Amino acid sequence: MTTELEDLAGRLREFARVREWERFHTPKNLAMALAGEVGELVAEFQWLTAEESGSPDPDALARMRTELGDVTLYLVRLADVLGVDLLEAAQSKLDDNELRYDADSYRGSARKAPPSPPAT
Amino acid sequence: MTTELEDLAGRLREFARVREWERFHTPKNLAMALAGEVGELVAEFQWLTAEESGSPDPDALARMRTELGDVTLYLVRLADVLGVDLLEAAQSKLDDNELRYDADSYRGSARKAPPSPPAT
Amino acid sequence: MTTELEDLAGRLREFARVREWERFHTPKNLAMALAGEVGELVAEFQWLTAEESGSPDPDALARMRTELGDVTLYLVRLADVLGVDLLEAAQSKLDDNELRYDADSYRGSARKAPPSPPAT
Amino acid sequence: MTTELEDLAGRLREFARVREWERFHTPKNLAMALAGEVGELVAEFQWLTAEESGSPDPDALARMRTELGDVTLYLVRLADVLGVDLLEAAQSKLDDNELRYDADSYRGSARKAPPSPPAT
């Protein structure tokens, strides 16, 4: 991971250690907590039109920022507990997507590509 | 954001541009896509015990890594489109949590703290 | 619950019993499975405009129907394992919402009502 | 649907009509709202052990019941707006699952069955 993501992961390790919360931070529980926070993030957009979502008012943007922060905390913590490098996992997935969704075939289209071997 | 998160955001901008996918990437749609990927991540853990989730077999870990990659891609893309700095949002939220969940009162306990002003 | 929801819950109990799956069907696991299926449902809508979502083509509608079926199965199973009557819980919540969102104050507006005591 | 699910769907139609909220109730938005509520439901379980989740204290059970009610409201509303019969969709999916997960092969095992044609 990057130095700053590593720093955040380290801060989260200490945060859990000092409060003796490690036993709650099983990957299973962290995945659930992440899902809970993503639910709160989604709720910020549910009644907005696409256009409104692109230009949120300051209060709405502040709430979105808060929820994005919560999601990031649990994502980084979960990856750290599992020993997964988030940046590498993301870059690797994007490499795959660049091959599967070649620009000529998929320009302007949202259709899903067939699974590439090995099946994800 | 960090140089590497900025690099990833930049790669995602180009990925969308080349395929003329920007019109699909409204924050509303990206939040939904993020929720969809978090659903796939959660599904990797749903039948595991807490212990199994902490020591996944290689195939399971590989699938978790793939889903963590997908979640990261949409999170970084959503934050970039909204103009939110993910690292700052996360650090800021962790600062708040350190104040709200003081170690003496919350050691070993998973109970939720009352909301701190201003209400989130 | 209704006779048909009770029938479905009974079918699900038998389905789990015959396969000796009860030990996987803790409420915690069932809540995760429900979240996973809702993720799949949300993915069917993520790139659609609001209008497209209201008039899906036959294939898309068939996939939405499948995911709605999966979500319903886990919701009914989770409620049954917890001993919660889904219909009563829903009617009761709708009674609350009718009081909190009085038509005169909320007509045409999507804003959230303040929490009503006791806090939900 | 059953008479009681139909009654609930009818109550929800009237609830939206009286408040002039139909324009917010596109399937896309309702799917997001459902995801948001499932996030709140999942949060009730995230720090519980499997055993604790099976025997929640009265306050926790009351909160789970509330969230199950919210999830049911959006699920019924979404299905109604799409014209999908939830009970039929669920029974149909369970028929499929009974064929795919034959008891002799899957007894006691949580492994996923290969997709059955046509691919879901």
Provide the ipTM. Answer: 0.94
Q: Does residue D48 lie in a domain region?
A: yes
**What's the pTM value of the predicted model, to 2 decimals?**
0.94
Query: Looking at per-residue confidence, does B37 or C105 come out higher?
Result: B37
Q: What pLDDT score does C1 carry?
A: 55
Alpha helices in chain A (DSSP H): 3-18, 27-43, 50-54, 58-82, 86-100, 103-106
Q: Does residue B52 lie in a domain region?
A: yes
Q: Does residue A59 lie in a domain region?
A: yes
CA nearest to A35, candidates C99, D46, D117: D46
> What are C49-67's pLDDT values in tens digits?
999 999 999 999 999 999 9
Q: Does residue B64 lie in a domain region?
A: yes
Report the chain B residue with the minimal C-alpha distance to residue C37: B39
Report the chain C residue with the minimal C-alpha distance to residue B25: C47
Phi, psi for A80 (deg, rounded to 5): -65, -45
**How many CA atoms, within 13 angstroms, populate the side-chain half-sphere of residue C110?**
16
Q: How many domains does chain D have?
A: 1
Residue to mutate among D47, D64, D70, D78, with most A CBs inside 10 A, is D47
Nearest to A87 among B4, B81, B107 (CB): B4
Contact partners for chain D, using 3 or more CB pairs closer than 8 A, are A, B, C
Q: In C, which residues are within 8 Å of A32 by CB distance? A: 28, 31-32, 35
Q: Does residue B118 lie in a domain region?
A: no
Q: Is the pLDDT of residue D12 over 50?
A: yes
- The first and second tokens of residue A75, run together, are 């994502």
Domain CATH code at residue C79: 1.10.287.1080
Q: Does residue C72 lie in a domain region?
A: yes
Contact: A35, D42; criterion CB under 8 Å: yes
Q: What is the 3-state secondary structure (H, E, C) of chain D?
A: CCHHHHHHHHHHHHHHHHCCCHHHCCHHHHHHHHHHHHHHHHHCCCCCCHHHHHCCCHHHHHHHHHHHHHHHHHHHHHHHHHCCCHHHHHHHHHHHHHHHCCHHHHCCCCCCCCCCCCCC
Q: Does residue A60 lie in a domain region?
A: yes
The dihedral sign for the CA sequence C51, C41, D23, C114: negative
Domain with B15, as residue range(s), is 3-90
Amino acid letter for position B88: E
> What are B83-112's pLDDT values in tens digits?
999 999 999 999 999 999 998 889 988 888
**Distance separating alpha carbons of residues C25 and B46, to the nearest angstrom:** 10
**Distance separating alpha carbons of residues B56 and A82, to the nearest angstrom:** 9
Q: Does residue A39 lie in a domain region?
A: yes
Report the chain D residue with the minimal C-alpha distance to residue C78: D68
Q: Please report, for residues A44, A75, B14, B39, the alpha-carbon distance to residue A32 in angstroms, rounded to integers and kept in the order given.
A: 19, 11, 32, 10
**Distance separating alpha carbons of residues D58 and B110, to the nearest angstrom:** 17
